[in-house]
Amino acid sequence: MVRETSLSPANLIWPLFVTDGEGVVEPIASLPGVSRWSVDGIVERAREAVDLGIPCLALFPNTQADRRSEDGREALNPDNLMCRAIRAIKDALGDSIGVLTDVALDPYTAHGQDGLIDSDGYVLNDATVEVLVGQSLNQARAGADIIAPSDMMDGRIGAIRAALEADGHHNVQIMSYAAKYASAFYGPFRDAVGSSGLLKGNKKGYQMDPANTDEALREVAMDIAEGADSVMVKPGMPYLDIVSRVKQAFGVPVYAYMVSGEYAMIEAMAAAGAGDRDAVVLESLLAFRRAGCSGVLTYHAAHAARLLAKG
């Protein structure tokens, strides 16, 4: 009767990895229980999400090696993996499921960085923003409901919002990865999208210093002013203080990404018999909600939804 925080499947977003082919299921060794799916399998996962009451999927492509390039041009291909998956989901299920799409170049570049680089390997902010605008329009035209720029380039939210409006996509939302930290928790994700062995250098030049909190508020303020509909903090549990500060300061919808390393830690703990997996999953997700999250991107989404249905 006096519980202050609730958790339901409506608070979950399910990240899924798309790969080429048909009937393909590729288990990801560093993410036990998570696989890459070909487009037909992604549609089946979307049907599953609808049945479980999960309102939104987040898509990430494992771009074919021969389609990666220094300039990430595959991101602009209207028939790339991401766009094919968006169209297939929307053709099958329409508006019964939301589709959130990642905007960044790391799944498409030969060097694994989120943007274009110069001869010294430095990521070029303004040149990258131009490509991200084209990538966003490409995904919106395919049917994406929410564009989620994860690249951390300055000024990209305003540029993307203006382009979406000019192209007639007035109802396409932007969920900005506004406070994305240069974290050590991303390793399994990079395996999943095929960029871990490609990454040259690190991403500390444009992602945030894990030591900083005030900077997060400045980043969020800038993205809201430029037109973001909601904001994200990434990673999740080690940064719940950031979630709380952002929610208290701005009062906008705040999401957090319970990233691949966080998922892998829970799975490793359960495999070692060191804890009750189901209880830890639900407690972790409840902590996100208690900190102020409207929702959580989590690889445990389907499992958690089933647990919640049991009551």
Q: Give the residue numbers marked as catalytic.
A: 180, 234
Q: Of 237, 235, 231, 238, which is closest to residue 255 (Cα–Cα)?
A: 231
* Contact indicator for 223, 231 with CB cutoff of 8 Å: yes
Q: Is 233 left (phi over 0), alpha (psi -120 to 50) or beta?
A: beta
For residue 221, the SS3 value is helix
With H, G, I as helix, E, B as strand and everything else as coil, classify residue 98.
strand
- At 265, which helix (H) or strand (E)? helix 260-271
CA pair distance 193, 308, nearest whole angstrom: 29
Q: Are 133 and 159 in contact (CB under 8 A)?
A: yes
The answer to whether the beta carbons of residues 17 and 295 sit under 8 Å apart is: no
- Cα separation of 120 and 222, whole Å? 28
- DSSP secondary structure letter of residue 99: E
Give the pairing of strands 35-37 and 25-27. antiparallel
**Strand partners of residue 98:** 56
In the chain, % helix, strand, coil (3-state, to 5) comes to 45, 20, 35
Binding-site residue numbers for Mg(2+) are 219
Q: How many whole angstroms separate alpha carbon 266 and alpha carbon 275?
A: 9
